[in-house]
Amino acid sequence: MYNSQLETFLRVADAGSFNKAAAESFMTPTAVIKQINLLEESLGVSLFERTH
């Protein structure tokens, strides 16, 4: 089963940032963040520690 949110999570983890993952995925950073937020919500856990 394909899960785009999980794929996005893996891409962010590999890239080290939402912006880099967005560029690699040809997505906007907002779309990447939304995917991660949805995944975190469905799992009930925070997957990334967000810093500036």
DSSP 1-50: ---HHHHHHHHHHHHSSHHHHHHHHT--HHHHHHHHHHHHHHHTS--S--
Instruction: Say whether pLDDT at 6 is over 90.
Output: yes
| pLDDT tens digits, 24-43 | 999 999 999 999 999 999 99
Instruction: Say whether pLDDT at 5 is over 80.
Output: yes
pLDDT score, position 2 = 86
| pTM to 2 decimal places | 0.88
Instruction: Say whether pLDDT at 16 is over 90.
Output: yes
